[in-house]
Every structure is written in structure tokens, then in C-alpha cells.
Amino acid sequence: MSETRGEKLISIVMKFVELKAIVALKDGIIYTLPMSLVGSVFLLLAQIPYKPFNDWMAGIFGAGWTEPLFQVYNSTMQIMAIIAVIGIAYMYAKNEGHEPLGSGIIAFAVFLITLNQYTASKSGEVVSGVIPRTWLGGQGMVTAIIIGLLVGFVYSWFLTKKITIKMPAGVPQGVSNQFSALIPGLVIITATMFVYMFFRYALNTTLIDFIFKVLQTPLQGFTDSLVGLIITTALVPFFWWFGVHGATIVNGVMSGLTAANRLDNQAIIDAGKELTLANGGHIVTDQFNASFVTVTGSGLTIGLVILMLTIAKSEQNKALGKLSVGPGVFNINEPILFGFPMVMNPLMFVPFVAAPTISAIVAYFAMRVGLVPLFTGVTVPWTTPPIISGFILGGWRTALMQIICIAISVVVYFPFFKKVDSMNLKSEQEAEA
């Protein structure tokens, strides 16, 4: 009976994972990663928290020596919404088997149509013919996701139904692809114009501003709440326990919001304000998850590896601990997930979910009371070892918090590991006898 229920649950999970929108979102949002990491390098160089170095650089290159660094930062990390809308629409069409670049370009155009292409100067003068950069980063992320998915779907529907301009056989494929995109592009962009007109003249706003206020702000608030953190944290090992890549699924859906939280934090600093909760800072960002939740791999399994290396009596567990410690330091834990195993192991379900969840709660309150600083816009590659990543992202206090999270992992896994280790030892002794 339990197996039947388990199979039904796995079937439901897999149906969700395989939804076209989820796959396109997961695959498309990845395109923001390279620019985010590149931009982080230049942002970190521009904001090195060491005054003698900054004074030395200013003495050589002048007071504006950071301007080129911020130019790169603004042209990489501050255009995340543009990259996301193109990437999601591109991957949706590609997964449907169509020429994808046209879908990405149309989505980019639709995204621009949703914006007011003017801004106001500090003196109140309206400057036309410009694109407000405010919406190109974190504040436009949810709109980018929605537009990317809708354009990808509609574009693919037209091509699947062959509602396109068909060119003769001798026409080069590149030219033919552009004419294939003409009809869906015309329909999508015309429909977007009417949407723009509705929000502009009926509601005196824009679609992107409406979505930000009505949808994105509440969603960001949910991701930044303790309840939202507990749910999203627990879902990662929950999916993994069934053999489904939980981090990819949850982060694929939530990464746009947590990245928006990170960019909001950096915007507070860019505005010359102190990064605090009172000034609108966020606790839960993508760096929070990487530093305290999925650090050393989903399920925070480094505690299990430490136990294998220190107190294991089973030769199997000792060998697996030696094999897993190297990858674990670089946040890769597949040897533990499938070798221990964690997947479909009823004895390890509770600690597998509890370890990262307790770690997240402790880190959340540490940041809420100010013991650990909020994250800025700087990110690091996901393979950066813990403690090192903590120093880069938030200094010694963030690194210390990572050590505490690892200690929590050891304590949570201890009683469950002792049981499994004794069972394995008994099996090995029986096999020897």
C-alpha cells in the first residue's frame, strides 16, 4: 500500500517537473548565471572593504577610479531581466523543436513594449527616448519570466500549427527561419501593443509596474519570510529523496525571485543607504541558499561525511566518507545521495530534510538580529568551498555562520548515522563469518 502511494507521489512530482513551462523556466534562467558571476567580480573590486587600498587606488587613478567597474556591473548584473526573458522564450521554442532565436528576440521586443520609454531627471524634467534601467534588473524579473513563457508558448504554437510564411525550397534556411517568425511575431507584438494601451490609458500605469506591485512584491515578500524559507528549503531534499534533482527544480522556479532580492539589496547600497532591514533589505537571496541551505550539496550532507570520517565503524561507510569529502568541499554530494544512499532511504528522510531546514532557520534569525550581515549583489560560483565563499560574500561573520551550519548538520545526522552504521557493520560481520 505504501509503495503504491509512493509511486503516485513520484508520478505527481515527475509530472510537475516535466511541465513545459517549468523546463523552459529552469533552462532559460540559467542564462543569467554567467553575467551575474562576471558582474559580481567587478562589483567586488569596486567595493573592496579596505580603505587604505581604496585611498591608494584613488591617489593613482583619481576619485572616480571605480566608474569603469560600475559600468561593467551595470551592463551585466543590472540587465538580468533582459537575459531572462530572452533565455526563457528561447528555451521554450528550442524544447518544442523550433528555431529558437526568433522567439527570444520577439520576447525581448515585447518586454520593451511593456515599459514607459521615458524617465524623469532629478529636477523633474521628462527625458524621452530612453529605457529606464530600473526595470531591466531585479524589479523586472517576474515580468520577464511571464513574458518569456507566454511568448515561447504562442510562438511555438504558431510554428507547430504551421501558421507561417512558407518560403520556396531553394531559399537559405536562415532566411526561411526569419519569415517563419514573421506571422507569430506580428500577432504577438500587435497584441502587446493593445495590452500596453490598456494599462497606459485605462489604468495609468504599465504592465511591468502592475506586475511588480501586484505579483512580484508579494512573491518576494513570501520568499523572504520564515514560512517561505522553510517551505522552499524543505522541498529541495524532499524532491531529491524521490530521486528528482530538487535543487534544480526549486531554484529553477524561485531563483528569479531570490536574485531579485539580491539585486534589491545592492540597489540600496547604490543609493548610498545602509543595507539594513529597516531600509528594505532582504534576508533570503540566492546567496543565502547557496551559503546556508545547499552548501556542500542538497541536504547539507557534509555533516554525514564528517561522521563517516570520524566515528564510522563500517568499512563501507569509511570508504564512502573518503570518497565523498573531496566533492563535498566543492558542494557536490552525488556520491552521498546515491552511494549511502539518501534517495528512497526511509531511515535518512528526516535528517535529510531537517539538517538544511534547521540551518536555514538559525541563519535567518542570525541575519534578522544583525549577527550576520545581509548579502550584497556579489555572488560566487556555486562550487566555491564553504567558509571561503562566506568570507567573500559577507566577511568573517558569514564564514562563521557557515561553520555553525556545518556543526548543525553533524548533530542532526548523528543519531541516524549511528543506526545505519551499526546495521552496515553487522552486515559486514555476517558476510565475513
Q: H helices of 224-245, where?
A: 226-241
Which residue type is seen at 396?
W
Length of the chain, in residues: 433
Q: Within 13 Å of residue 100, how many CA atoms lie on the same side as its CB?
A: 17
Indicate the domain borders of the chain. Answer: 30-77, 85-221, 226-241+258-432
| Continuous segment of H or E residues that includes residue 119 | strand 118-120
Alpha-carbon gap, residue 334 to 214, rounded angstroms:
40
Question: Which residues, in sequence order, are CB contacts of 277 under 8 Å at separation 6+?
Answer: 283, 368, 374
pLDDT score at 170? 62
| Continuous segment of H or E residues that includes residue 127 | strand 126-128
| Continuous segment of H or E residues that includes residue 354 | helix 349-368
pLDDT score at 169? 67
Find out whether 284 and 375 touch, Cβ atoms under 8 Å: no
Residue found by looking up cell 567595493 in the block: 47
Backbone angles phi, psi at 61, to 5 degrees: -105, 0
Considering the entire predicted model, what is its pTM? 0.79
Over residues 123-177, the pLDDT tens digits come to: 777 778 888 888 888 888 889 999 999 999 999 999 999 888 876 666 666 667 7
Alpha-carbon gap, residue 40 to 19, rounded angstroms:
32
Strand, coil or helix: 313 = coil
Backbone angles phi, psi at 370, to 5 degrees: 90, 10
Strand, coil or helix: 151 = helix
pLDDT score at 363? 97
Q: What are the residue ranges in the chain where pLDDT is below 70?
A: 1-7, 9-10, 13, 167-175
